Amino acid sequence: MKKIIILFIGLFLFTCNSESAFNKEKYLNEGKEIAQSTGKTLSGHVKKAMQEKGPIEAINFCKLSAYPLTDSLSKLYNVKISRVAIKSRNPENKATGEDIETIKKYEEQIVKGEEIKPQVQRQEDKIVFYAPIRLQHACLVCHGKPQSEIPDTLFKHIQSLYPNDLAVNFKEGDLRGIWKLEFGEKK
Ligand code: HEC
């Protein structure tokens, strides 16, 4: 009998310390909310700048750090907000480690015609949220084919700002990159 009780206590402690212990649903919901509102602000400003000032000026609105909203959401949720890619424009947004695995998995799923969904995982002392970013028609002017889709002067300007740019030659529907939200504190 004693052995059985010890076994149960052991099992209970094991379960509490394992992956299932953190509230995935909560992080998933928070992550979706943060990625969505940050994305909306970003694309809203880029679109407006494109219409009013043209793509060269709009480039200045493509950084998450340009928005006070990113800063305030980071503080509110104790989270680091970023967009990362294997083929990145800004080297600061380069995917590493688990990011690369996640991007590759999403790409495989796209090839298979499967639905690609946001996800949450534990990475050491952090909880990391990932969500796919697909390329839309409106993105081609800055991430499509140089010359035919990206006008020459714009392409030259992008190259002068980002000499290591890898974020060209994308097609509509491609995985452009992923949202990466790193939650600092366990809740
Ligand atoms: C006006 C030009 C322009 C348009 C339009 C544009 N982008 Fe970008 N994009 C950029 C620039 C410039 C950067 C680099 C920002 C930085 O320095 O962090 C970038 C960076 C990114 C990144 C971060 C990873 C990286 O490559 O550095 C993602 C993801 C991204 N863009 C997705 C999109 C998507 C999706 C669209 C369409 C909805 C889009 N972009 C439209 C210019 C553009």
Quick one: average pLDDT of 131-159?
A: 97
| Ligand 1 mutation target, pool 63, 134, 143, most atoms within 8 A of CB | 143
- How many angstroms separate the Cα of 104 from the Cα of each of 71, 96, 107, 130? 29, 12, 5, 13
Ligand 1 centroid to Cα of residue 142, in Å, is 7
Atom of ligand 1 nearest to the CA of 65: 18
Instruction: Give the integer Cα–Cα distance in Å for 22 and 126.
Output: 11
pLDDT for position 24: 93
Residue 129 sits at the vertex; the CA angle it makes with 123 and 134, to the nearest 5 degrees, is 130
pLDDT reported for residue 4? 64
Instruction: List, for residues 15-40, the tens digit of each pLDDT value.
Output: 555 555 789 999 999 999 999 999 99
Instruction: Find the 100 Cα to ligand 1 centroid distance in Å.
Output: 18
**Pick from 17-31, 63-77, 105-119, 122-136: least confident:** 17-31
Q: pLDDT tens digits for 40-63? A: 999 999 999 999 999 999 999 999
Structure tokens at 78: 């104790």
Is the confidence at residue 164, as pLDDT, over 50?
yes
Please give the average per-residue pLDDT across 56-83, as a whole number. Answer: 94
Centre of ligand 1 to C-alpha 19, Å, is 34
Is residue 151 in contact with ligand 1, taking CB distance under 6 Å? no
The response to whether residue 88 sits with its C-beta less than 6 Å from ligand 1 reads: yes
How far lies 10's CA from each of 6, 18, 21, 187, in Å? 6, 12, 15, 23
- pLDDT for the residue 1: 65
Give me ligand 1 centre to Cα 83, in Å: 9
Which atom of ligand 1 lies at the shortest distance from residue 158's CA?
12
Q: Is the CB of 141 under 6 A from ligand 1?
A: yes
pLDDT band with cut points at 50, 70 and 90 for residue 187: very low
Q: Are 141 and 135 in contact (CB under 8 A)?
A: no
Q: What is the pLDDT of residue 5?
A: 62
pLDDT of residue 21: 73
Report whether residue 136 contacts ligand 1, using a CB cutoff of 6 Å.
Answer: yes
Q: Is 157 in the pocket of ligand 1 (CB under 6 A)?
A: no
